[in-house]
Amino acid sequence: MKPSFGTALLLATLSLPVPAAAQSSTAIALDQLDPSPAGDPFFGVPSPFVDGHLVPRAHAMLGYADGPLTLAQGEIERDVVGSQALLHLGASLALWNRLLVAVALPLAVAQTGDGAAVPGEPAPPDAPAPGAPDAPAAGDLRLGLRVRALGEKNDPVQLGASFGVHLPTGATDAYMGEGSVQVAPQLLVGGRVERWLVWSAAAGATFRSSGNPSTVTYGGGAALLLWDERLQVGPEIYAATPIQGGSVGLSDRTRVEHTRTTRAETLLGARVRPLAHTALGGLVVGAAGGPGFGNGIGTPAFRLVGMLAWAPSGDEGAASAADTDGDGLLDAEEACPYAAGPRSADAKRNGCPAEDRDEDGVPDPDDACPEQAGETGAAGARRGCPLDMDADGLPDAIDFCPKEPGPADGNGTKPGCPVPTAPPPPPVTDADGDGLLDPDDACPREKGPASEDAAARGCPKRVRVQGDEVVLLEPVAWKGLQALQPAIDPRSAPAVEELAAVIQDHPEWARIEVQAHTDGTGDKRFNQMISEARAEALRKGLVEKGVAAERLAAKGYGASKPIADNAKAEGREKNRRVQLVVLEKK
């Protein structure tokens, strides 16, 4: 046996006398989900909201209900309708931000079940069971009218009322219609709390002229608004309680007693606007699911729903349908919604007036010279420009420089172009201030004396700057025999002074390494120690000559970086050297 909730566990009373009023109905619209109008925030609980004027909305809702009608007599149990798959199509139109007109039609896509056969009376061979569900089949057409009486859009509390009519268009032999009119008035209340919560509640009744019991209907829902209102998640519950008891006709031969049993369903739903804040921001995709409760007819064990809708906000819908300037183009598609203009394939000019400031007959967007009257017959980049814009006497059509006056014969250049003038000679300077002009100075950035040797003219005698290296042209002589406490011999004082002067002439050298090197003879460790001591001695000597200490760093390399062959005396002499390397520049 199926669970008690989500089924109609009824006692079949076959051939029993029932009141005449109850016998007037031989059909029932089994599906109890009456979807909210297109654009509402909940699946089965309507709201008082009305958003926009002349804003259309629509939805398609596909649902599955399991076990909506089970018939039992004693130990015999039949799934009259074991399952239903229904497609609900709905549309609505908002008017004046107060009134909503809605229409909906349910369609049975698929149904399964045994039908309402009479226990003990076998059906004829090859005949369908009486009242077996049929599909596809249409349901009752539903029309609705809603008015929001109190509250404004996005208020936390809004009050409204609705009136619905179910027309007898449904298939009475497929559990989709009762063959009579139903009316459903409702009182609606709901609202929005800032931008994070939406809620609705409804109470009303459904009055049937079929003889089937009328019902009191009620429900409520609340949902969180997440992801900048793109996502809505929340529960809802809707229920119905019969006003009177009686019997319900399932087929021409089968009727069942119906007690005043409340049926209820709850859904946990989610809706998302995947293309929010775009031209397709009205697209909504949703899904919901949940169980049914109670033994009322039509209550499923569980229901699943999927939805696809077009539900733009009132502001989006109004913008898409408005034509403020009355030029026949909607504001949403034109570039100038407040100034009438013709349609254009260029989106930036669509609906914009054809302004012509220079009144030459060429609209400004097509006029190459919009502030100067020109030739209307000209094409391309010259359209709307004067015949001779630079007034040099040469027509623009053959003027190679139409915006710059120039001789017609060109005078050695292209016709109509100005004659170029020779650039002034570069100024003659003495960058290092040594009295020799830069063109005659072999070292224009270092001070040095005049010399007959052009390669040495204006260069320091003892120092050369080679890229990022400063090289001493003569070796530094060291005083005394104490290898680890060397002192610079007075004979090398001029070289140190010249070296300090070169550093001072280059303030952009922020960090300089003072290096000392030895030849490859002797003990490697001793060579390293003496090179470090000599590098530090030269660094101190430069500081004494006025070079800032923070600009200098001393480092000895021993014999690790030879520049000549240590196997030869002249090579070893070259390897015994000091030099400076620029590490960092400003």
Domain with residue 529: its CATH number is 3.30.1330.60
| One domain for residues 212 and 293 | yes
Q: What is the DSSP letter of 264?
A: E
Model confidence band, residue 319 (pLDDT cutoffs 50, 70, 90): low
Q: What is the pLDDT of residue 376?
A: 64
Q: In angstroms, rounded to a whole number, what is the distance separating the alpha carbons of residues 537 and 532?
A: 9
Q: Mean pLDDT lowest for which of 200-209, 215-224, 522-531?
A: 522-531
Cα–Cα dist 573/563, whole Å: 10
> Residues 6 or more apart from 165 whose CB is under 8 A from it?
142, 143, 144, 181, 182, 183, 184
Return the amino acid letter for 452: E
Range of the domain at 346: 323-353
Assess if residue 425 is contained within a domain: no
| Adjacent-strand bridge partners of 51 | none
Q: How many CB atoms lie within 10 A of CB 315?
A: 12
Residue 480: predicted pLDDT = 62
Same domain flag for 283 and 154: yes
Please indicate, yes or no, if residue 103 is contained in any of the structural domains. yes
Dmax (CA) for the chain in angstroms is: 142
211 and 314 share one domain: yes
Residues 296 and 330 in one domain: no
What is the per-residue pLDDT across 399-439, written as a single tens digit (0 to 9) for each?
888 888 888 776 667 887 887 777 777 777 877 777 777 77
What does each C-alpha distance from 153 to 228, 274, 430, 586 come to in angstroms? 18, 23, 80, 64
Task: Give me the sign of the Cα torsion angle 457, 459, 460, 461.
Answer: negative
Q: Are residues 272 and 349 in the same domain?
A: no
- 571 domain residue, yes or no: yes
Degrees, nearest 5: CA angle 414-419-421: 140
User: 64 and 201 share a domain?
Assistant: yes
CATH number for the domain spanning 32: value is 2.40.160.40
In 504-551, DSSP assigns E strands to 509-517
Cβ proximity of 53 and 94 under 8 Å: yes
Give the residue from 320, 342, 365 where a domain finishes. 320
Tell me the pLDDT tens digit for each residue of 108-149. 999 998 776 544 445 454 544 555 677 799 999 999 999 999
Q: What local confidence, expressed as pLDDT, does residue 3 receive?
A: 41
Query: Among all chains, which residue has been given the structure tokens 């814009």?
Result: 389
User: Is 256 found in the same domain as 199?
Assistant: yes
pLDDT grade, residue 94 (50/70/90)? very high
Show the tokens assigned to 357: 């400031």
Residue-wise DSSP of 137-175: EE--EEEEEEEEEE--TT-S-EEEEEEEEEES-S-TTTT
| Number of domains within the chain | 3
Residue 510 lies in a domain: yes
Same domain? 42 vs 182: yes
| Bridge partners for 470 per DSSP | 465, 580
Identify the helix (H) or strand (E) that includes residue 272.
strand 263-272
Q: Mean per-residue pLDDT for 435-464?
A: 75
Burial of 551 (0-12, 13-18, 19+ CB in 10 A): middle
Does residue 311 belong to any structural domain of this protein?
yes
In a domain, 276, yes or no: yes
Give yes or no for residue 15 having a pLDDT over 70.
no
Q: Note whether 171 and 299 are same-domain residues.
A: yes
257 falls within a domain: yes
SS (H, E, C) 315-356: HHHHHHHCCCCCCCCCHHHCCCCCCCCCCCCCCCCCCCCCCC
User: For the ranges 137-151, 163-177, 190-204, which has the lowest average pLDDT?
Assistant: 163-177
Whether the predicted pLDDT of 476 surpasses 80: yes
Give the residue carrying structure tokens 């049975």: 108
Distances (CA, A) of 545 to 19, 378, 433, 485, 539: 127, 76, 20, 20, 10
Would you state the structure tokens that stand for residue 436, as one six-digit string?
């020799």
263 and 147 assigned to the same domain? yes
pLDDT per residue over 335-389, tens digit each? 888 777 788 878 777 878 777 777 777 777 777 777 777 776 656 666 777 777 7
Does any domain span residue 4? no
Q: Same domain, yes or no, for 231 and 336?
A: no
345 and 232 in a common domain: no
